[in-house]
Amino acid sequence: MIKSELNSKVRTTLGRAWLTSAEQAANKVLKIKKKYIVSVVLVGPKGIQTLNKKFSGKNKPTDVLSFSSLGKDKFIAPKGGEVNIGEIVICPQIAKAGAKASGHSLKREIQILYAHGLLHILGYGHGRAADAKKMFKIQEDIIRKIK
């Protein structure tokens, strides 16, 4: 089971309900039995640009970045304990443009970004066509389950 901790570095009117519903949908689809924690951080464009440059070599802001702490020891947690599996960093200001382009709300866009980042943390990728097909199908399954 994934449990998400929210830390906002920017002012937003989003609250936490968006995260709770996205987290619940992800848990229904992924059916992970052990207890995992993922940190979700909301930052401004400058903050995400700094991270993007440092970790991806791209000196521009982006909507989401994810950092997995699973390494090669995927899904190994202390017996009965929780383990932090990574961090999802989302920039609501950048996500707003994606929401507008897609014709849905900022809340919905951020939920999509959460699902996308979570799947990356869990080891899914979209570099190859077959991998992208698998990842985006699971992402869509999560999005459809969000209430």
What's the Cα-to-Cα distance from 131 to each of 14, 35, 56, 83, 127, rounded to whole Å?
32, 26, 20, 26, 7
| Highest-pLDDT range among 5-9, 29-33, 114-118 | 114-118
Per residue in 53-76, pLDDT (tens digit) is 999 999 999 999 999 987 655 545
At 33, is the pLDDT very low, low, confident or very high (cuts 50, 70, 90)? confident
What is the CATH code for 2-145? Answer: 3.40.390.30
What's the Cα-to-Cα distance from 56 to each of 45, 48, 50, 120, 125, rounded to whole Å?
15, 11, 10, 14, 15
Q: Which position has the higher pLDDT, 14 or 129?
A: 129
Domain-by-domain residue ranges, the chain?
Answer: 2-145
Q: Which position has the higher pLDDT, 33 or 78?
A: 33
User: Quick one: pLDDT at residue 34?
Assistant: 83
| pTM, to two decimals | 0.92
At 14, is the pLDDT very low, low, confident or very high (cuts 50, 70, 90)? confident
User: Quick one: pLDDT at residue 76?
Assistant: 52
